Amino acid sequence: MTAPVRRGTRIAHIGIAVEALDALRPFYRDILGMPEVPLDDADGAAIAGLAAGESLVELLEAKSPDSPIGKFVSKRGPGIHHVCFAVDDLDGTLERCRAAGLRLIDQVPRIGAEGKRIAFLHPSATGGVLVELSEF
């Protein structure tokens, strides 16, 4: 058995809560020149992915007011919702978070919009930023 390749933590995507995908998509796609990447809906949000090198901007539009993005937008308005870091060892990273006493939103990884295993940490654990961890 070969050892797992260590690639190092990187920013996988930045999730931006928007009121309407179609209103913001042209800015990223046409003005900034970021290619669109098809993504599945997740957590009650329609998602537009736009590539910035190996990272993505994910525009998140609530499909209902009581979804997480719907609540976020009605409480705080549109804006940066979360930052996702891809890590070499998602389970090990979550275990280190747990051991450090950090508050987890997802106790075990689940499947996110890119079809990869992900888990969210509570903003109280990370300086007020909602952090998503993802496998590569």
What's the closest the beta carbon of residue 130 comes to Zn ion, in angstroms?
Answer: 9
15 contributes a contact to Zn ion by CB under 5 A: yes
What's the closest the beta carbon of residue 111 comes to Zn ion, in angstroms?
Answer: 12
d(CA 129, CA 36): 25
What's the closest the beta carbon of residue 82 comes to Zn ion, in angstroms?
Answer: 6
Give the binding range for Zn ion (CB under 5 A) out of 15-23, 27-35, 63-71, 86-94.
Answer: 15-23
**Chain residues 41-100 in contact with Zn ion, contact rule CB under 5 A:** 84
What's the closest the beta carbon of residue 75 comes to Zn ion, in angstroms?
Answer: 18
Candidate residues 47, 86, 94, 132; the one interacting with Zn ion per rule CB under 5 A: 132
Size of the site for Zn ion (CB under 5 A): 3
Q: Which residues bind Zn ion (CB under 5 A)?
A: 15, 84, 132
